């Protein structure tokens, strides 16, 4: 294994020789990482290197995998009881006097559930983080309940998971898996992983893959049928559990975990927009969640969980919001903070950005920062992007919200007026997407960009040529960027609010009139928006939902939704409405 500072040792357990690797200071809490199928410990190399600064990190090759020896005979050598013996032997060798924090992926997690629910490991496991691998006992009960009391929904769930388990049936056939893995499948697997699961090439998979996969078929044969048909009735977790569920897991349905609280009362849920191999595709997020959870358990705070809606999705994520000093931007910063995100509040007005960051901390953000920047100033945005990257890392969610209003007929709108509105509303969004989007793209671990457009983007109006043009451009930019970044798991959403009660009405400019008339129109618009009284908090809620669901275009407010429908099915009506002269 090519990890810096890795120390290798052998541990003898139940007739096999296990290859164990340690990183970091043994005086720190021990985190044991258990790999899945068809993997070896190298699947964890990216996560392990990120955790080694803070913890004593231990990885081992499961019996028959990597550089650990295989049991003889193979049949019967991979039962969960024997795998538990192996885990206990490793835990006793690397951390004799102190319980370990267990982390499992795929079959490593299936094993982890066994370890954390059997009595003989009690006191040896401080916490368990599970990724993409259910307890076979819980799974057995899940199937049993649906077979005994079938409803259309439950039958659908059974069929859905049944279809996702196609490979499990194949692995039960004699000799075929061994032939396939030692033949063409083994050769093609790295390329398949790259293409289907977007797993970047590196020190993984290793050359031992064909043998690992052939031996590992016995994990299924020795355990699956027996446990699913006769699941243990007492499979309760005796340590706090963190469940990380990838939303796009091709092999496991999220529904499998619906009733998990009854088996694991101290449960923290996390959701990731990713496929099955998260230790390789999302090492930053996975290691951050492990670090947070282990630190909380070590500090005696296992029950502490963020309580806001979407906290399982955004907890610990880095979110940057522009124009966060007021209105929709401020409400969005608070909504992410309530979901446990770390928030960077950016505004051209320092004081309001500072206030937003302070309040964000109060409502739930574990950390919040304020930054002053004018989004239309390219150099200022470059500096901001560099600073955030160096000090805080890559932004997971970017909300390009800062914008200004401008109302007035085309011939009353000067070149200078056009420049101002396009500089902020369009160029501000371009700078944000280019600078922070590039960082997301280079990191290669997904992300999300939200651009605040407007219903004015698709609803023409004789009174708003410059504003509507800027917002239509933002809508189109978002659609183009969404197409370009889709292959990198970076979502792009355009939010199109209608009339929302914010300060924009008092700061919006009205062209072609003197200052007194402009002030009068601002007051009148503010009154109108006040009477309409659609709160920015509802827009913020729509933004979090749109990111969680990866929606492309989201009209918010009934009038924005109505206009959106008309723009698709009856644009003539919208064109007629656009001619109506606004009241003066």
Task: Tell me which stretch binds ligand NAP (CB under 6 A): 234-242, 261-269, 280-288, 347-355.
Answer: 347-355
Task: Tell which positions 401-460 bind ligand NAP, by CB under 6 A.
Answer: 401-404, 424, 428, 452, 454
Task: Tell which positions 116-145 bind ligand NAP, by CB under 6 A.
Answer: none
Task: Tell me which stretch binds ligand NAP (CB under 6 A): 5-13, 249-257, 348-356, 541-549.
Answer: 348-356
Q: Residues 52, 217, 499, 563: which binds ligand NAP (CB under 6 A)? A: 499
Euclidean distance between CA atoms 364 and 335, whole angstroms:
9
Sign of CA dihedral 321, 323, 327, 328: negative
Q: Residues 135, 326, 478, 567: which binds ligand NAP (CB under 6 A)? A: 326
Euclidean distance between CA atoms 514 and 172, whole angstroms:
81
Task: Tell which positions 74-103 bind ligand NAP, by CB under 6 A.
Answer: none
Q: Which residues contact 347 (CB under 8 A, 6 or more apart)?
A: 322, 323, 324, 325, 326, 329, 353, 356, 370, 372, 373, 402
Least distance CB 512 / ligand NAP (angstroms): 20
Task: Tell me which stretch binds ligand NAP (CB under 6 A): 202-210, 262-270, 496-504, 519-527.
Answer: 496-504
Is residue 322 close enough to count as binding ligand NAP by CB under 6 A?
A: yes
Is residue 47 close enough to count as binding ligand NAP by CB under 6 A?
A: no
- Tokens 């002053």 label which residue? 372
Contact yes or no for 161/168 (Cβ under 8 A): no
Least distance CB 239 / ligand NAP (angstroms): 45
**Radius of gyration over alpha carbons of the chain, in Å?**
27
Single out the residue of 118, 130, 95, 110 nearest to residue 266, CA to CA: 130
Least distance CB 347 / ligand NAP (angstroms): 5
Euclidean distance between CA atoms 121 and 116, whole angstroms:
7
28 exposure class (CB count in 10 Å sphere: 0-12, 13-18, 19+): middle
306 exposure class (CB count in 10 Å sphere: 0-12, 13-18, 19+): buried
Least distance CB 526 / ligand NAP (angstroms): 11
Q: Which residues contact 550 (CB under 8 A, 6 or more apart)?
A: 273, 448, 491, 493
Least distance CB 370 / ligand NAP (angstroms): 12
Q: Residues 46, 211, 292, 374: which binds ligand NAP (CB under 6 A)? A: 374
Single out the residue of 51, 238, 44, 234 nearest to residue 126, CA to CA: 238
Is residue 492 close enough to count as binding ligand NAP by CB under 6 A?
A: no
Q: Which of 204, 467, 529, 534 is catalytic?
A: 467
Count interface residues toward ligand NAP (CB under 6 A).
30
Is the CB of 136 or the CB of 328 nearer to ligand NAP?
Answer: 328
Task: Tell which positions 502-561 bind ligand NAP, by CB under 6 A.
Answer: 502-504, 507, 536
Is the CB of 219 or the CB of 464 nearer to ligand NAP?
Answer: 464
Task: Tell me which stretch binds ligand NAP (CB under 6 A): 189-197, 277-285, 320-328, 509-517.
Answer: 320-328
Active site residue 236: no
Least distance CB 575 / ligand NAP (angstroms): 20
Is the CB of 38 or the CB of 327 nearer to ligand NAP?
Answer: 327
- Tokens 């009205």 label which residue? 510
Secondary structure class of 430 (helix, strand, coil): helix
Euclidean distance between CA atoms 144 and 154, whole angstroms:
11
Q: Residues 29, 64, 329, 555: which binds ligand NAP (CB under 6 A)? A: 329
What does the block give as tokens for 437? Answer: 């989007």
Is the CB of 165 or the CB of 503 nearer to ligand NAP?
Answer: 503
Is the CB of 317 or the CB of 502 nearer to ligand NAP?
Answer: 502
What does the block give as tokens for 137? Answer: 């006992």
Least distance CB 502 / ligand NAP (angstroms): 3
427-449 burial: b if 16+ Cβ within 10 Å, else e: bbbbbbbebbbebbbebbbbbbb
Is the CB of 32 or the CB of 328 nearer to ligand NAP?
Answer: 328
Q: Which residues are known to be catalytic?
A: 467
Site of interaction with ligand NAP (CB under 6 A)? 322-323, 325-329, 347-349, 352, 374-376, 401-404, 424, 428, 452, 454, 497, 499-500, 502-504, 507, 536
């Amino acid at each position: 294994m090519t990890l810096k500072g890795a120390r290798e040792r052998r541990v003898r357990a139940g007739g096999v020789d296990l290859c164990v690797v340690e990183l970091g200071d043994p005086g720190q809490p021990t985190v044991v990482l258990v790999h899945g199928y068809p993997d070896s410990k190298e699947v964890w190399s990216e996560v392990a290197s990120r955790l080694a600064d803070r913890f004593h990190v231990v990885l081992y090759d499961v019996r028959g995998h990597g550089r650990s020896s295989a049991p003889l005979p193979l049949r019967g050598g991979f039962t969960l009881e024997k795998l538990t013996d192996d885990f206990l032997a490793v835990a006793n060798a690397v951390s004799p006097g102190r319980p370990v924090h267990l982390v499992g992926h795929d079959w490593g997690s299936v094993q982890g559930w066994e370890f954390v629910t059997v009595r003989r490991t009690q006191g040896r496991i401080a916490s368990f983080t599970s990724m993409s691998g259910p307890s076979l006992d819980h799974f057995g009960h899940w199937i049993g309940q649906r077979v005994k009391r079938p409803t259309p929904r439950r039958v659908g769930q059974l069929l859905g998971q049944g279809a996702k388990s196609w490979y499990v049936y194949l692995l039960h056939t004699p000799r075929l898996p061994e032939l396939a893995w030692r033949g063409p499948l083994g050769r093609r697997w790295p390329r398949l992983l790259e293409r289907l699961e977007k797993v970047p090439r590196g020190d993984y998979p290793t050359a031992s893959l064909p043998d690992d996969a052939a031996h590992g078929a016995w994990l299924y044969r020795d355990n699956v049928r027996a446990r699913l048909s006769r699941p243990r009735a007492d499979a309760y977790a005796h340590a706090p559990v963190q469940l990380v569920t990838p939303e796009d897991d091709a092999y496991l349905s999220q529904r499998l975990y619906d009733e998990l609280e009854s088996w694991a009362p101290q449960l923290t849920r996390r959701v990731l927009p990713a496929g099955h191999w998260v230790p390789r595709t999302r090492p930053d997020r996975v290691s951050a969640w492990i670090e947070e959870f282990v630190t909380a358990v070590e500090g005696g705070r296992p029950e502490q969980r963020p309580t806001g809606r979407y906290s399982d999705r955004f907890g610990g994520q880095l979110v940057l919001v522009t124009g966060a000093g007021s209105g929709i931007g401020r409400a969005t910063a608070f909504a992410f903070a309530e979901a446990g995100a770390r928030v960077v509040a950016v505004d051209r007005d320092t004081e309001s950005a500072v206030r937003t960051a302070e309040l964000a901390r109060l409502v739930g953000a574990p950390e919040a920062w304020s930054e002053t920047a004018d989004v239309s100033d390219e150099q200022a945005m470059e500096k901001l992007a560099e600073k955030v990257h160096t000090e805080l890392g890559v932004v997971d969610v970017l909300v390009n919200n800062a914008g200004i209003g401008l109302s007035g007929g085309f011939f009353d709108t000067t070149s200078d007026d056009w420049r101002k509105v396009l500089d902020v509303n369009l160029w501000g969004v371009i700078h944000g997407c280019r600078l922070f989007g590039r960082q997301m793209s280079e990191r290669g671990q997904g992300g999300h960009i939200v651009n605040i457009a407007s219903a004015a983007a698709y609803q023409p109006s004789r009174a708003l040529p410059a504003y509507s043009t800027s917002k239509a451009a933002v809508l189109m930019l978002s659609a183009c960027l969404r197409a370009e970044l889709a292959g990198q798991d970076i979502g792009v959403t355009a939010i199109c609010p209608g009339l929302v009660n914010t300060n924009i009405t008092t700061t919006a400019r009205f062209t072609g009139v003197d200052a007194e008339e402009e002030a009068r129109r601002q007051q009148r618009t503010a009154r109108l928006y006040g009477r309409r009284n659609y709160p920015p908090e509802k827009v913020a809620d729509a933004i979090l939902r749109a990111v969680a669901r990866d929606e492309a275009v989201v009209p918010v407010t009934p009038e924005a939704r109505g206009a959106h429908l008309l723009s698709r099915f009856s644009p003539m009506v919208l064109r007629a409405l656009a001619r109506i002269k606004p009241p003066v």
